[in-house]
């Protein structure tokens, strides 16, 4: 299970939101590039980057920062936030991003995912409150069921599903193991868990999670690393089964 330390960008800074609420933001640093380099030097196999401004408005104001991160680290970068069309996805790929995450666009234009996937490694971000997948920077519900959406991309050629329970994101209260198990059992696509990780035991529980003969391919961790709940080295050991 790969560990994806998260860098969430807002106004060029490293931040975290509580339950996706833009009014409940914690700033963790003014130099996201240095933070990415530190994660990579500590052994992270991936860096996960989200442009929160673009996710909310569609305006990719942090794209230069994403490009700088991709240029600075020797590991692949997975990035998303506000990727609403082919041009935005292509721009991230040309900026050095190894895998582009589509959320709102994947819900509103599933054919976009199918057009992109043969050319650009694509992950679909499924951000849900309960079973309802949210869009537009998590500010609107789509009325679509999480499992139905996951199943709908079975033959789309996507590299992964990034599954976030918004109610747990940034809370450190533990991941939604039951919800993740349902997604694992319903799809053959790699599943990356996101939201709620607060302890090494949470990471061990995700590593051990199995459903339908499948296990998680990755986990995204943000606030717990920034607040020192554990080190990245400890997290890497836990995600390796240690």
Quick one: DSSP state of residue 156?
T
For the chain, what is the mean pLDDT? Answer: 92
Range of the domain at 49: 2-239
Q: Are 154 and 183 in contact (CB under 8 A)?
A: no
Residue ranges of alpha helices (H) inside the chain are: 32-41, 52-57, 63-72, 86-94, 104-108, 110-116, 146-152, 177-186, 200-208, 223-226, 232-239
Q: Provide the pLDDT for residue 75.
A: 98
Count of structural domains within the chain: 1
pLDDT in tens, 47-70: 999 999 998 888 899 999 999 999
CA distances from 66 to 60, 129, 177, 200, 206 (A): 10, 27, 30, 28, 28
The residues that are catalytic are 8, 127
pTM: 0.94
Q: Are 133 and 105 in contact (CB under 8 A)?
A: no
pLDDT in tens, 60-96: 999 999 999 999 999 999 999 989 999 999 999 999 9
Provide the CATH number for the domain around residue 218.
3.20.20.70
Which residues are registered as beta bridge partners of 126?
A: 163
pLDDT in tens, 135-173: 665 455 567 889 999 999 999 999 999 998 888 877 889
């Amino acid at each position: 299970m790969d560990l994806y330390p998260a860098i969430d960008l807002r106004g060029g800074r490293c931040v975290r939101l509580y339950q996706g609420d833009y009014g409940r933001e914690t700033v963790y640093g003014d130099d996201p590039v240095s933070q990415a380099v530190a994660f990579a030097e500590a052994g992270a196999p991936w860096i996960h980057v989200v442009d929160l401004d673009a996710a909310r408005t569609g305006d990719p104001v942090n794209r230069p920062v994403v490009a700088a991160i991709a240029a600075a680290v020797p590991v692949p970068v997975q990035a998303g936030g506000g990727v609403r069309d082919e041009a935005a996805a292509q721009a991230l790929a040309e900026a050095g991003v190894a895998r582009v995450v589509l959320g709102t666009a994947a819900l509103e234009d599933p054919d976009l995912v199918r057009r992109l996937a043969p050319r650009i490694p694509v992950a679909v971000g499924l951000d849900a409150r309960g079973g309802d997948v949210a869009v537009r920077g998590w500010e609107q519900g789509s009325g679509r069921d999480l499992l139905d959406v996951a199943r709908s991309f079975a033959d789309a050629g996507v590299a992964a599903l990034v599954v976030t329970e918004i109610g747990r994101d940034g809370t450190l209260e533990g991941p939604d193991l039951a919800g993740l198990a349902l997604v694992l059992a319903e799809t053959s696509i790699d599943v990356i868990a996101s939201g709620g990780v607060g302890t090494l035991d949470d990471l061990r529980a995700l590593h051990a999670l199995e459903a339908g003969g499948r296990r998680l391919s990755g986990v995204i961790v943000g606030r717990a690393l920034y607040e020192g709940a554990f080190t990245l080295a400890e997290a890497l050991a836990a995600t390796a089964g240690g």
